[in-house]
Structure 1
């Protein structure tokens, strides 16, 4: 008898239902009598039913092939399994001895799971397990069925009595199986009283002694990224998304976290495009593809280990001890991402060095209703105290640990000591502008601020740009705030001692938690009362927004710190209140501050670069058709040559002249050039 027959005959109904559904299993059982076997060999079993051909091999039912168009486990495959049971004489009806499920689950220890799914997969499994509102574990004669009930879905997984991690089955999409199966195993281990498995991110540094990228893997990734550009814009497919996600969660890719993260974002962007999601941004998808292509090329060509580590990046929350540090709290902000992550971040500065740090309390999904970032800010202990207290105090953090990006570890081994409320004083903050360590934080001159931010956000492939950077502004004059109906954005002009102006902005965003509307309401409450003192300093967050550098107010300093996300008094952002506030803000500020002039040169350059990005997207949407090269790319090359941008003209010309097999790579190199130049032109606007 073929060794494949008992392999498939031992798959019981519980496992089949976990992979498909009860209805498919019931129908397949009735169809099993119609199965005809073309061959039953040692390497492959071939069966036919109703014109469909099913091929089974040693890889298991999840990897079985069928000629029918079903995207998931079809009834033809299940029918062949039932037919093999009959041929084997139904030996799996009852096991000779009961399965020792606690011992079976004990075999899936931390080492085994890490080897099977990697740190990224185990981290996601821990998240899924924590989010499960209820867990059912049902031990059958041959299979342990585990059901995780989350708020948005149910995950049903079958763990057979024998086999390694690959023998675990479910109906999850292929890219979600590793984490989903690991989450079910974690839940089953907990059910049988085993110790919890945890992932300590600080071990990542010791795990990676030498970084030696696999050339074959890099070549596969490069090919998939190029196919994502060539096909993803025109005909996005689930198979391409699955391939990208599998590459992203592979253990070798985990040694290159920046690359792994961008492959995930590409897969998510393709999924949004295929589903016609309103949040899909084709420009951001092209940006991620261009970056991945450039990063893969740089990694494959770099031999220097130090630069390789920079290109690869560090794993999330890789902390190193930095000793005891004296910190000043600059304030705190809430955030909510488009993917559903919510949280609050406290910002701190070490006056001795000027290094800025952050501490974040967050959850990766809004489905965790037990977490409220406002409540966590006021009540959750951080180093023995609340973030509300620490973000407006001076203190010493003993036993501090920080990542290379300045993120502080919330480990209980660190303790906040010698805490004193921080009372901002104009004279004190003014001296910061003269101190070498704090000159990059506090600014009296807007031109100097613009130069500093240009250096901070300058594009480089070796390291990601900072997501945000706090700065302290000391204006000599503050104009009233005004609201623009067209852009739905609040503008707040500030003048420096030299007569130069900049504008802080806040978007009126009432989606989700309505953070934008709340901030505008809090700012109006702080500035609109004629009896309150105007701030002498404003803590703002600088960040890149759609290729432009923007400044958003975070906290106001007068006699005390006023955090816009956590004001002592602010109107709730209800529709009536916000409408009243907006009506009050619709005033002209021209009599107080000159409007920002139209920078014709920057605008023309931005339009030229955006035109190139749009052309490359159109080229991809047309399937890289030859006629589209002449229609979209040829005029672009001439335009860049006439605009004194010869490097871009050469990149576009190379794309036009490339062979079909090299077109995607050449187009992505052109896109990276466009986005890099866009970053260099994203300078803070200063006017007089």
Structure 2
């Protein structure tokens, strides 16, 4: 019998679930009966299942190869492992010798861990452990299961009873495994009473008042970003991703957290491109590289201490105590990111200051079938309560901790107290807007032109401060028109009029991606507005965000006799073909009688199209490897077009790109042009208001 069979047959279910998920393991078990072995040799095992070919060698399951396009441990590899169990015979129910886990973990001392992951990897592992709000250690028959749960993600790692650091497994992306595995070992060591591991020299405290950028480090980062543009779009490589991650976690980069975070995002974007992830967005990757390049340039050219500190970002703990605060729940939304994270976010406001806060229950991947955001919203406890109760209540949060961006910690030391249902009415909400200097004046809006101005200021681009991703606003319309659904664009439009007769439009996209959030929200909104038993809402809570050169308002919750959340309706939306659907179909046909359609803004549309063409051209130039023929074909005509369109600054930036010959200089000029394009897109984003 091949020596490789026991190597794989002894892998227990706990380890397989840590590498993939329970769902994939369950499917792999079912597929095991269909596995056909082409070869079982001393050096390699080759198995086929459902057209996929799996190759196993002595490097372990994490290094196994499969012909299917899955980027992680797939069900085909799991199926072959189960088939090999059958070949070897199922292992006994209990191990012959009880595993001495304290002794096993004692072998992973500081010297061993630092030798395995390096000083930067060990530093990142210590950070991950510090961010973990809960840790779970579960000894199994042949492995130790470790789970680190933070506000952002849940890391699950399996530590086998034998083997070195390379034997530790998880479902983490390859670039994140060293630090994630080391963090799990540190957590297990702490659980079994071992001394904490620290770096061999203390990290110097960063004095932000005397912050001075590291010139050589900035030069290395700039060169790497130029390579990311010049090579990453054409021939993405793992080496370039690792280089960016090493720069991001270096001790000197930690003094510039905004730059460090951006480098991580670029590494993740390049990885998605290399793995041909269907959710990869080339424009967003270019935006992130251009932003980092511009931030590096500003850091290297600025002498003002105050601006340097703003550019670098505040070096502070992930969360800081902010004492006891009174909050009002504005609602909650479900989200799913391009990277696969899924969760639910609650939105709150502090009436005393007007500051917005959020808290999130999430998982880093949709493969975790144990997590459902709707179930977490209704049943998972935060601060001693459920998010379903707090999202529509006023309460005091004692012992609150928050990040600089307003994210609230889910620490068990914080408690929600004095909870009262929040029952808004039009008069009390409108009173918040009486004084324009009041804390809540920027939250509630009666005038759409004033709202447009507020959002333009809120989302104005600036290198000196992080961009605002989304902003909740409360709209108090004087008139509400029926919803209209555009079958061509698959977008719902909901016109609202203010007291002066100005109109704006809330929108919802009907998308079938991920969990179909857009379709669910449209159905919930139509059901709420079409129910004759409910009065029209007096206020709408909406999320505002810039998107592709325009400002988008998406409804989140409706305030009327009751509060209704589109992602969490009190009852399931009615099925198509019933009375409500027929009523809504009639309202769609007559919507033009209630609200005039938005006028075509030809000038803004043409500008947006020109800017989009520039982004596409720079991506195409990068995909060609900065080839001279692509420059002549894509960039030279575009520079002339911008000059004719009176966009002289953009024309000059593109002209610099066409005037250079060295690859690094060309890439640097192209990234400067990209930053100019994205900045112009941000400035032209505006909320459309019409009469």
Aligned to 1:365, what secondary structure does the other structure show? Answer: coil
> Does structure 1 conserve the Cα–Cα contact (< 8 Å) formed by 2:104 and 2:161?
no
1:687 aligns with 2:686: no
> Does structure 2 conserve the Cα–Cα contact (< 8 Å) formed by 1:333 and 1:554?
yes
> Does structure 1 conserve the Cα–Cα contact (< 8 Å) formed by 2:146 and 2:188?
no
Query: 2:401 maps to which residue?
Result: 401
Structure 1 residues 298-307 or 467-476, which shifts more?
A: 298-307
Residue of 608, 629, 632 corresponding to 1:630: 632
> Does structure 2 conserve the Cα–Cα contact (< 8 Å) formed by 1:106 and 1:194?
no
**Residue 499 and residue 649 in structure 1: after superposition, are their counterparts in 2 closer, same or farther (change >3 A)?**
same
Aligned to 1:105, what secondary structure does the other structure show? Answer: coil
Query: 1:31 maps to which residue?
Result: none
Distance 1:188 1:617 in 2: 45
Query: 2:609 maps to which residue?
Result: 607
1:198-213 matches, cutoff 5 A: 208-210=206-208, 211-213=211-213
> Does structure 2 conserve the Cα–Cα contact (< 8 Å) formed by 1:105 and 1:188?
no
**Residue 442 and residue 609 in structure 1: after superposition, are their counterparts in 2 closer, same or farther (change >3 A)?**
same
TM-aligned CA deviation for residue 528 of structure 1 = 0.5
Structure 1 residues 533-542 or 633-642, which shifts more?
A: 633-642
Residue of 665, 669, 675 corresponding to 1:666: 669
Aligned to 2:573, what secondary structure does the other structure show? Answer: coil
TM-aligned CA deviation for residue 307 of structure 1 = 2.8
> Does structure 2 conserve the Cα–Cα contact (< 8 Å) formed by 1:550 and 1:684?
yes
Query: 1:390 maps to which residue?
Result: 390
Query: 1:289 maps to which residue?
Result: 289
Query: 2:258 maps to which residue?
Result: 258
Distance 2:376 2:226 in 1: 43
Structure 1 residues 614-623 or 270-279, which shifts more?
A: 270-279
Distance 1:413 1:682 in 2: 41
TM-aligned CA deviation for residue 126 of structure 1 = 8.9
Over the aligned positions, Cα root-mean-square deviation in angstroms equals: 4.2
Q: Give CA-to-partner distance per residue, 1:315-349, whole Å, 9 cap, x none.
A: 79733333332222211212121222222222222
Residue of 559, 565, 569 corresponding to 2:567: 565
Distance 2:40 2:229 in 1: 37
Query: 1:359 maps to which residue?
Result: 359
Aligned to 2:600, what secondary structure does the other structure show? Answer: coil
TM-aligned CA deviation for residue 457 of structure 1 = 0.3
Query: 1:524 maps to which residue?
Result: 526
Distance 2:639 2:559 in 1: 51
1:229-248 matches, cutoff 5 A: 229-248=229-248
Distance 1:272 1:581 in 2: 44
Distance 1:558 1:197 in 2: 54
> Does structure 2 conserve the Cα–Cα contact (< 8 Å) formed by 1:175 and 1:246?
no
Q: How many residues align?
A: 587
> Does structure 2 conserve the Cα–Cα contact (< 8 Å) formed by 1:118 and 1:251?
no
**Residue 479 and residue 260 in structure 1: after superposition, are their counterparts in 2 closer, same or farther (change >3 A)?**
same
Distance 1:508 1:254 in 2: 41
Distance 1:572 1:303 in 2: 62
Distance 1:316 1:554 in 2: 32
Query: 2:318 maps to which residue?
Result: 318
TM-score normalised according to structure 1 size: 0.75
1:226-625 matches, cutoff 5 A: 226-314=226-314, 318-435=318-435, 436-437=437-438, 438-571=440-573, 586-625=588-627
TM-aligned CA deviation for residue 147 of structure 1 = 8.9
Q: Give CA-to-partner distance per residue, 1:188-244, whole Å, 9 cap, x none.
A: 637x82369799xxxx99954444443222222211110111112222223222322
Q: Give CA-to-partner distance per residue, 1:564-597, whole Å, 9 cap, x none.
A: 1122123278999999898677535211111111
- Give 5+ residue unaligned stretches, structure 1: 1-12, 29-98, 139-144
Distance 2:575 2:204 in 1: 48
TM-aligned CA deviation for residue 286 of structure 1 = 1.1
TM-score normalised according to structure 2 size: 0.75
Aligned to 1:624, what secondary structure does the other structure show? Answer: coil
**Residue 26 and residue 257 in structure 1: after superposition, are their counterparts in 2 closer, same or farther (change >3 A)?**
farther
1:675 aligns with 2:678: yes
Distance 2:428 2:173 in 1: 58
